[in-house]
Amino acid sequence: MASAGSFGRLSLLLALSLCSALASTVPGEAPRRFWIEGDAFWKDGARFQIVGGDVHYFRIVPEYWKDRLLRAKALGLNTIQTYVPWNLHEPEPQSWEFKGFADIESYLRLAQELEMLVMLRVGPYICGEWDLGGFPPWLLTIEPALKLRSSDSTYLFLVERWWRVLLPKVAPLLYENGGPIIMVQIENEFGSFGDDKNYLHYLVQLARRYLGNDIVLYTTDGGTTNTLKNGAILQDDVFAAVDFSTGDDPWPIFRLQKKYNLPGKSAPLSAEFYTGWLTHWGESIATTTASSTAKALKSILCRNGSAVLYMAHGGTNFGFYNGANTGQTEFEYKADLTSYDYDAPIKEHGDVHNPKYKALRRVIHECTGTPLHPLPADIERASYGLVKLQKVASFFDIFDKICDPLKVAVSEQPLSMELTGQMFGFLLYVSEYQGKGPYSILSIPKVHDRAQVFVSCSLDDVRNQIYAGVIERWSSKTLQIPTLNCSSNIRLSILVENMGRVNYGPYIFDQKGILSTVEIDGVTLHHWKMYPLSFNLLDNLSKFQPIQQITDARASKVSSHGGSQTKLRDLSFYLNGNSEEPEFYEGHFHIDSNSTIKDTFISFRGWNKGVAFVNNFNIGRFWPVMGPQCALYVPAPILRSGDNIVVIFELHVPNPERTINLVKDPDFTCGPNR
């Protein structure tokens, strides 16, 4: 007897066949078809050259999707490539998000409306300098631990459950069904990670089940023998594309590519042509010259090769979604900036009046003969000037108010953030010990990623904290703590920040929080309480509206109009004295009318490290003392006429003037050496 699932799949296949038949039988029109033959791409009976670019919907406020796509089209692109981050769409198990930033179907239809094709990178792993490479962090809570990107049966079950939701949404938008999607990518650069061919074969079978056999499936791997050998799926007739450094000669790599495709099925394609590069905190901003980038692109396009610019437009890692990288060990940790400008031709704020955009546009027109589409009108930016901020609360005044008491975890040993249900942001760990001698030595061998340490007498008010220092993942040092003159035990409070999960390489299974024992003078501490902090719960303190993450299903528009004028400053809690304690600050600026609402940047020069919110929207992390990013991008749709509210969670020492500056232009000149 056939199962209900079998009937569902049969119905889906019949529906797809009907859609395909209808799309191909319109009187007077040739059948819609995209395929590879004679080592070339073909579309509707004619050879086709892909001139594409990555533009990620989840890094752009939805109100600007059309603007950024129009700028990509004016660059000369005919195809848009985008990842689909699983963690954006399934933030909790079987809790699906497809609105606001996550409204992928609207984004794909918009691309079609603008007469652009789409290459869709459905993962399940995407990399992309995105938290955990796009995997939902709740995967890290499953026992026994999953083997991500493998044939692990539990992992594959969860992938199928996710694709069972995603792929039926994608299927009607395939090119042969009348939509814009010409190709769908399986996994991403798997050849740089492993060689589990059974895993790749399974993904292909799963994709074909929902998308049919006509869609061109593809992989993307580095242009080396080893990566292509491990990542290509030639036996399943999956097209193997390549990527490589911009300075490399592409054509020997394209010849190598042919060995990993079926005969006649190796159209030369650089699926990631790098227009720039990523930047971590503490580094100088990565840049490439316009002339060298244009020259490299010309060497592909003018010989009838195809290329996808990575990135055409980078965008922004809003909220807590930035990724991170490691070196030879997991302790060599480097988190990505909030900005994902990537030195792309279309800048983070949409600017196209730069040498790289002009040079690439000129090369694309010269090599392909594509007509030059007019540039969209500039998006105006405004300097709203200095904004004075007031301290409204110290962290220890209110931490219990921004933590749901039902979610406080108790354990003999510290738990990871994920096991407490805290997938992003901050977790406070609290325990006690007996102080002996003039000081004690604190050791946390494994903390992900950055721990601020405080001590107080356990019988004193929790607000009377003394700052002891910081322990960081990348230094893993011990910390000397002064012994307090207490009649009771000493309370140890450790605030741990998740700075972004690793998105690439062997250490991708990147749990956050305290992942080892905690020792004082060699003695292991027990009896821990863990407080997951939610900025959504700030409204528990007053009628202040909750700050929302970009995946909130209710936030189909990112701005929040109206609401109470009661602010955090109404709190009656204030701490006397410790300048190193995390604190909340609030400021206001006024915009006269809708006509004067424009993009802006908030400069955090003089501040230390923290997170910023504008009108309840998390615009990202700032860390000007580390640099190089000094200012965070604030798109106009986040702003509103009238009163605009900025809330800053500063982890250390505020700007002495307690001001921020709203300026027109980005700034990447901060840091200790600048």
Quote the tokens at residue 407.
């979610």
> In terms of Cα–Cα distance, which of 382, 415, 530 is closest to 140?
415
Quote the tokens at residue 203.
């993904």
Q: How far is CA 388 from CA 298, 589, 622, in A?
A: 50, 9, 18
> In terms of Cα–Cα distance, which of 401, 424, 399 is closest to 549?
424
Q: How far is CA 465 from CA 220, 453, 477, 573, in A?
A: 52, 10, 22, 14
Q: How far is CA 448 from CA 132, 376, 473, 476, in A?
A: 13, 44, 6, 10
Annotated active-site residue in 90, 129, 176, 272? 272
With contact defined as beta carbons under 8 Å apart, do 492 and 468 qualify?
A: no
Beta strands in 340-488, from DSSP E residues, in sequence order: 385-394, 409-411, 426-433, 439-443, 447-448, 450-457, 466-472, 479-482
Annotated active-site residue in 176, 187, 189, 330? 189
Pairing of strands 610-614, 583-591: unpaired
CA distance 185 to 239: 9
Is residue 272 part of the annotated active site? The answer reads: yes
494 membership: H or E segment, kind and range: strand 490-497
Beta bridge partners of 121: 83, 185
- The 3-state DSSP class for residue 5 equals helix
Torsion of CA 601, 605, 606, 610, to 10 degrees: 60
Quote the tokens at residue 238.
């999956």
Is residue 332 part of the annotated active site? The answer reads: no
CA angle in degrees (0–180, nearest 5) for 368-273-196:
130
CA distance 624 to 620: 13
CA angle in degrees (0–180, nearest 5) for 516-517-522:
135
CA distance 164 to 437: 61
DSSP conformation letters of 382-405? ---EEEEEEEEEEHHHHTTTSS-G
CA distance 239 to 254: 13
Residues catalogued as catalytic: 189, 272
